[in-house]
């Protein structure tokens, strides 16, 4: 009797967590769209797919809510549109798959529960599709770092109401940064990384009221004024703008006092002085202003930093650089 009960309970428990049969079928069709034996041996059609590598299921419903395929050079070919049949999916993560190619399929838009779309370090190419803007307000993060994407950043991405993370670094994106980005975002912890692309034009003035915590625009061809990213009362921690063609007067910038941690504005054409107000930034860990056209005495607080962070400017002086020749 006890044995039968145990068996019954065991069966019920495993039934409740077993992989949903539609998801099971879909996963097999995803596997079969890639070369034979490229998936781990756990992807065995007669076992519970909730126990397979790359998969997590909701324990109550048995629906697949995480598909995370990573670090597998055997997986070669385009992203299968059939992924869109995993309708409970919240996390789609395709990372370090050097032989995944082709464009981002529009069928992914059927994933109405998707929160994190991560396609990173693959050979996916083509444009960043404007249909991404049609995802539901469940979508929190888009990470397309390290692919072969080209063309402009769609202005419509600004329509995503819950987007708080947009990483498009290390692609071949061109054109200017749309001033609509994060226009509808209500969240106040925005992370933006557009570094290592071929972006041109000015940093949008509309970024003044975006609640960034990190901004990385390094290694592009951006011009003009970056002072909208600064401001005494902002809560940004990292501002990375190295290796662009930015030209503005740093003397007029007020540094965020509460949160600022890392600033890299090296390799630009920034002029003026380093404002003495920087002494009010309590938590500053890193400041690189090298290779610009700055001048004047370095504020005392910065004497602790490596002199290489101030090198190759027009006429910066004082510790950690040699002392100023006359009072400045």
Ligand X SMILES: *[C@@H]1O[C@H](CO)[C@@H](O)[C@H](O)[C@H]1NC(C)=O
User: By the criterion CB under 6 A, which residues form the site for ligand X?
Assistant: 41, 44, 46-47, 58, 60-61, 65, 71, 73, 96, 98, 121, 146, 306, 308
Cα(68)–Cα(74) distance, integer angstroms: 15
By beta-carbon proximity to ligand X, the closer residue of 56 and 103 is 56
| Least distance in angstroms from the C-beta of 307 to ligand X | 7
Residue 210: phi, psi to the nearest 5?
Answer: -80, 135
By beta-carbon proximity to ligand X, the closer residue of 72 and 244 is 72
By beta-carbon proximity to ligand X, the closer residue of 46 and 233 is 46
| Least distance in angstroms from the C-beta of 76 to ligand X | 12
| Least distance in angstroms from the C-beta of 28 to ligand X | 13
| Least distance in angstroms from the C-beta of 239 to ligand X | 20
317: β partners: 297
By beta-carbon proximity to ligand X, the closer residue of 5 and 41 is 41
Cα(141)–Cα(116) distance, integer angstroms: 5
Q: Which of 192, 232, 194 is nearest to 210 (CA)?
A: 192
| Least distance in angstroms from the C-beta of 145 to ligand X | 8
By beta-carbon proximity to ligand X, the closer residue of 93 and 235 is 93
By beta-carbon proximity to ligand X, the closer residue of 190 and 289 is 289
| Least distance in angstroms from the C-beta of 97 to ligand X | 7
Q: Which of 303, 296, 300, 302 is nearest to 326 (CA)?
A: 296
Q: How far is CA 51 from the centre of its chain?
A: 29
Q: Which of 202, 200, 196, 166 is nearest to 182 (CA)?
A: 166
> Does residue 128 contact residue 149 with C-beta atoms inside 8 Å?
yes
CA distances from 155 to 36, 131, 132, 181 (A): 40, 11, 11, 7
């Amino acid at each position: 009797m006890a044995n039968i009960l145990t068996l019954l309970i065991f069966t019920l428990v495993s039934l409740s967590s077993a992989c949903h049969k539609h998801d099971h079928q879909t996963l097999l069709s995803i596997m079969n769209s890639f070369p034979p034996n490229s998936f781990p041996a756990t992807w065995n059609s007669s076992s519970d797919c909730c126990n397979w590598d790359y998969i997590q299921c909701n324990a109550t419903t048995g629906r697949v809510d995480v598909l995370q395929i990573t670090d597998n050079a055997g997986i070669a070919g385009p992203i299968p549109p059939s992924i869109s049949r995993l309708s409970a999916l919240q996390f789609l993560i395709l990372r370090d798959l050097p032989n995944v190619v082709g464009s981002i399929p529009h069928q992914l838009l059927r994933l109405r529960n998707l929160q994190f779309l991560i396609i990173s370090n693959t050979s996916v190419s083509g444009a960043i599709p404007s249909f991404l803007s049609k995802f539901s307000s469940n979508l929190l993060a888009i990470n397309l770092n390290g692919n072969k994407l080209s063309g402009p950043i769609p202005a419509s991405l600004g329509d995503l109401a819950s987007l708080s993370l947009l990483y498009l670094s290390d692609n071949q994106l061109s054109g200017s940064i749309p001033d609509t980005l994060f226009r509808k975002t209500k969240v106040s912890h925005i992370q933006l990384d557009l570094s290592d692309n071929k972006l041109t034009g000015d940093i949008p003035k509309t970024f003044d009221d975006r609640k960034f915590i990190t901004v990385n625009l390094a290694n592009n061809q951006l011009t003009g004024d970056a002072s909208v990213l600064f401001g005494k009362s902002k809560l940004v921690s990292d501002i990375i703008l190295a290796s662009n063609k930015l030209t503005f007067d740093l003397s007029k910038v007020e540094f965020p006092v509460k949160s600022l941690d890392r600033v890299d504005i090296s390799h630009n054409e920034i002029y003026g002085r380093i404002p003495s107000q920087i002494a009010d930034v309590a938590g500053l860990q890193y400041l690189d202003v090298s290779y610009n056209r700055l001048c004047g005495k370095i504020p005392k607080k910065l004497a602790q930093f490596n002199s290489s962070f101030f090198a190759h400017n027009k006429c910066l002086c004082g510790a950690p650089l040699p002392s100023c020749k006359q009072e400045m």
